[in-house]
Amino acid sequence: MNKLYMLLMMIAAFAFASCGGHNHEDHKPGEEHAEGEHGHEHEHEGEIVINEKQAKEAGITIETVAAAPFRAAILVSGQIVASQGDEQTIAATSNGIVKYANASITEGTAVKAGQTIASVSAKNIQDGDPMAKAKAAYEVAKSEYERAKALVGDKIISQKEFGQIKMQYETARVAYEAQAKNSTAAGISVSSPMSGYIKTLLVAQGEYVAVGQSIAIVTNSRKLQLRADVPCHQAQSLATIGSANFRMAGSDRVYSLDNMHGRLLSYGRSVAAGSSFVPVNFEFDNIGDIISGAYTEVWLLSKEQANIISVPVEALTEEQGAKFVYVQIEHDAYMKREVSTGASNGKRIEIVSGLKAGEKVVSHGAYTVKLASASKAIPGHTHNH
């Protein structure tokens, strides 16, 4: 950050020196320069000079203006949600107190299928250890079953009685074996059913849970969905929507579904009771840094329009409600130009007037050029060649 600040100050100082050092007011009346001695001189009101080296170090890039296909957009709010089937819930298989496997088990932790996430223990609570109870019930049922097999053979008990005893035994056996295979010294282990990462921890360390209670949610996030909420008065435009750009809250980066194998899943044909929005759903590949659950700004993209002049959104600066771009007039000289804008799709914005095809505009680093122009003390300086 300090390096960038110093670079910007250097650019501003250079612009100041260029503007002040080449002003016509510095020449005495009647004084002339020989063309061969000083080269050609041209005057440009408001010209900003930044040499090529400084422009490169500041990350200033140039784009040649051209009429090209452009997709207008509807700006709405939305949210990132997980695709169905890409999430599974980890549930407790026993009553007891939750203890996570280690301190690194947090939201966002990568896990593998079958990996132990936590253990549930009831050894020190009033209801007692369910594992011990299951084992005792199984041993009693097994003993009764073994005895009943002999009695039914001698016809001392009926087949009906034997069937009931056998059913009780099988029930106790299944319950015990389900507990036994996950039994550890720490309690009954709970494992992840799939590979992925922990999306949400639903209970805290040391919290009591009952059988079947959700402990955590695991997601593999191979696919995510973007749900956009479109106001009713714009619903008539949904038939023309085919893709979208979006930006997560708190981020400056704009993502394009066209670059993420995105596809339109559906859009609503009616409004749910109590709502004033129509949902539009897209699915796309998770590129790794998109968070399920994040709220977003969404630009719903319409069909392409041909021969539209547009510039990157970051090429624009704004002053008192007016919008400007910086046009490169020579290899190291720029001029501020007011423009009128039209539709935006989050990445590019339509230029209705102020630019024409073939001109060169600052596409990245416009605010750096603006800073350099702010230091220009004397208008109408001369740019020497």
Coil, strand, or helix at residue 119? strand
DSSP assignment of 140-176 equals: HHHHHHHHHHHHHHTTSS-HHHHHHHHHHHHHHHHHH
Coil, strand, or helix at residue 381? coil
**Residue 155 CB neighbour total at 10 angstroms:** 8
**Residue 363 CB neighbour total at 10 angstroms:** 19
Amino acid residing at 298: V
- Residues whose CB is less than 8 angstroms from the CB of residue 244 and which lie 6 or more positions away in sequence, other chains included: 73, 226, 228, 257, 262, 280, 282, 298, 299, 300, 301
pLDDT of residue 198: 87
Instruction: Give the pairing type, strands 187-191 and 183-184.
Output: antiparallel
Give yes or no for a contact between 204 and 111, defined as CB atoms under 8 angstroms apart: no
pLDDT of residue 35: 41
Q: What is the DSSP letter of 179?
A: H
- Residues whose CB is less than 8 angstroms from the CB of residue 364 and which lie 6 or more positions away in sequence, other chains included: 59, 60, 61, 312, 314, 315
pTM of the shown model: 0.54
User: Residues 314-343, buried b or exposed e (16+ Cβ, 10 A)?
Assistant: bbbbeeeeebbbbbbbeebbbbbbebebeb
pLDDT of residue 19: 47
In tens digits, what is the pLDDT along the chain, a chain of 385 residues? 455 555 555 555 555 444 444 444 444 444 444 443 433 344 456 789 998 888 888 899 999 999 999 988 889 999 999 877 678 889 988 888 899 988 888 887 888 998 988 988 877 766 666 667 777 888 888 888 888 888 887 778 888 888 898 899 888 888 777 766 666 766 788 889 888 888 888 999 989 998 889 999 888 777 899 999 999 888 888 888 889 999 999 898 999 999 999 999 988 877 767 778 999 999 998 876 788 889 999 999 988 889 999 999 999 999 999 999 999 999 889 999 999 999 888 899 999 999 999 999 999 999 889 888 776 533 444 455 4
pLDDT of residue 268: 81
pLDDT of residue 276: 85
Of residues 323, 383, 277, 385, the one with CA closest to residue 47? 383
pLDDT of residue 353: 95
